[in-house]
Amino acid sequence: MQPVRYRAASKSSPLPMHYQVEQDMRERIASGTWKQGEQIPSEQELCALYRVSRTTLRQAIQMLVDEGLIVRERGRGSFVRTPIITAGSRGLTSFSEEMAVAGMHAGARVLSIGLQPCSPDMAHRLRLAAGADLVVIQRIRYANESAVGIQTAHLPAARFPGLEEADLSDRSLYGYLEEHYGVMVAEAEEIFSTTLISGRHAQLLNIHDGACGFYVERLTFDGTKEPFEFVTSIMRGDRYRVQLFLRASRRQI
């Protein structure tokens, strides 16, 4: 495929300068010259290529951001937006399996892992004695090397001895539990709610402070219906969505 040449904006054109730039950038995305997930040139480079001011360029980029074709990541630059990850109407899967189904590569970076005493609330959820040790694992989850969410898993330390020493970078936690402890996921309860992502969480996900997202709670059970994991997730609202299929019930009158 021949690369699409940059077209410098012309003041003699009846079209606004920022619109000319926006249309050329749109063509580069549509043609695959700028690929999904790829970083586009810097503002300075694009201003020189299109021969426009930074104000004009930013107007063009903002139009593509508003349409969901480009996403800005703080401290990194602007990227062609990758497909949104859709959750819902699926079997019980791990994040890694969800990404595989979506044709994306899953990744993980461990922020912290260690032992903590469980709170009364966590003890109630996991049917443990208050103060029992938990293995708490916090990881950033990636899709095609782009941060999507932050997950914090709580598991009974007595059931998973030595788990706090495990290397869980770029691998499925559920796969590790099955391989090393023989524990398999059977069912789970999930609750989704909306949240504003701010502070350290926003920085870790490379989004602006106060961006919308999802807060997800999952309680996971094994085949004996014993809870063995409680995990909270903060997911980027611009990269993650929930899709449900509803069916009308038949009522007899």
- Residue 199 falls within a domain, yes or no? yes
For residue 229, the domain's CATH number is 3.40.1410.10
In this prediction, residue 37 carries a pLDDT of: 80
In this prediction, residue 83 carries a pLDDT of: 60
Please indicate, yes or no, whether residues 174 and 49 belong to a single structural domain of this protein. Answer: no
Count the helix, strand and coil residues of the chain and give each as a percent rounded to the nearest 5: 25, 30, 40
Please indicate, yes or no, whether residues 44 and 165 belong to a single structural domain of this protein. Answer: no
Please indicate, yes or no, whether residues 166 and 90 belong to a single structural domain of this protein. Answer: yes
In this prediction, residue 179 carries a pLDDT of: 95
How many structural domains comprise the chain?
A: 2
- Residue 154 falls within a domain, yes or no? yes
- Residue 250 falls within a domain, yes or no? no
For residue 62, the domain's CATH number is 1.10.10.10
Structure tokens at 204: 């870790």
Q: Please give the Cα distance from 3 to 34 (Å, whole number).
A: 9
**End-of-domain residue from the set 32, 56, 80:** 80
What is the DSSP secondary structure assignment for residue 13, as one 8-state letter?
Answer: S
In this prediction, residue 89 carries a pLDDT of: 47
- Residue 4 falls within a domain, yes or no? no
pTM: 0.64
Please indicate, yes or no, whether residues 135 and 65 belong to a single structural domain of this protein. Answer: no
- Residue 25 falls within a domain, yes or no? yes
Quote the domain boundaries for residue 90: 85-242
**Intervals of the chain under pLDDT 50:** 1-2, 89-91, 253
- Residue 57 falls within a domain, yes or no? yes
**End-of-domain residue from the set 56, 80, 104:** 80
231: phi then psi, degrees, rounded to nearest 5: -130, 140
